[in-house]
């Protein structure tokens, strides 16, 4: 039993470090997408450095604003929830706060992530959804298309 607890603690620590590294890396990629200041290998190096800093427990900086209201609102809200600075305006309805009885759950029981890590994971997923495949960069900084030759 003691060995299982040690393995569980080690796995939890590794999961926390991985989530923190992922959040830092994703936020760095988001910042680069907004500022459009790094390309290719420099981008990979910057994201890797940010992820390594996050793994080591670096403080999470607030994300920059990109100027698109829908993106800014989603990212700032997710950041506020992850950092614990955003509070709900009203309480959840009672039926949403109760959990299903354990008899309805099937399969092995997995310990839920601590509340702080749930917020970080949510922040990472929100930011990643906006930068996936360079979507934000293309929207903010469209590629320059040379003028077409006049048709005779």
Distance of CA 43 to the CA centre of its chain: 17
The model's pLDDT over 14-24, given as tens digits with 9 standing for 90+, comes to 988 999 999 99
**11 vs 89: which has the higher pLDDT:** 11
**pLDDT score for 117:** 85
Whole-number Å distance between alpha carbons of 24 and 47: 8
Neighbours of 51 (CB within 10 A): 21
- Burial of 32 per CB tally in 10 Å (0-12, 13-18, 19+): buried
**pLDDT at residue 108 greater than cutoff 60:** no
In this predicted structure, the answer to whether residue 150 has a pLDDT above a threshold of 90 is: no
Q: What pTM does this model have?
A: 0.74
Higher local confidence (pLDDT), 146 or 54: 54
Q: What is the dihedral of CA 132, 141, 42, 27, to 10 degrees?
A: -50
| Model confidence at 89: pLDDT above 80 | no
């Amino acid at each position: 039993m003691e060995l299982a607890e040690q393995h569980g603690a080690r796995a939890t620590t590794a999961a926390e470090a991985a989530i923190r590294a992922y959040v830092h890396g994703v936020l760095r990629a988001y910042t680069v997408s907004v500022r459009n200041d790094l390309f290719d290998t420099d981008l990979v190096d910057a994201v890797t450095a940010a992820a390594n800093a996050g793994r080591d427990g670096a403080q999470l900086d607030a994300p920059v604003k990109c100027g698109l209201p829908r993106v800014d609102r989603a990212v700032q809200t997710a950041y506020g929830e992850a950092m614990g600075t955003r509070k709900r305006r009203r309480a959840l309805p009672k039926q949403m706060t109760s959990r299903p009885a354990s008899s309805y759950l099937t399969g092995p029981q997995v310990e839920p992530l601590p509340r702080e890590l749930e917020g970080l994971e949510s922040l990472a997923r929100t930011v990643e959804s906006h930068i996936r495949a360079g979507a934000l960069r293309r929207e903010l900084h469209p590629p320059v298309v040379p003028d077409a030759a006049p048709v005779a």
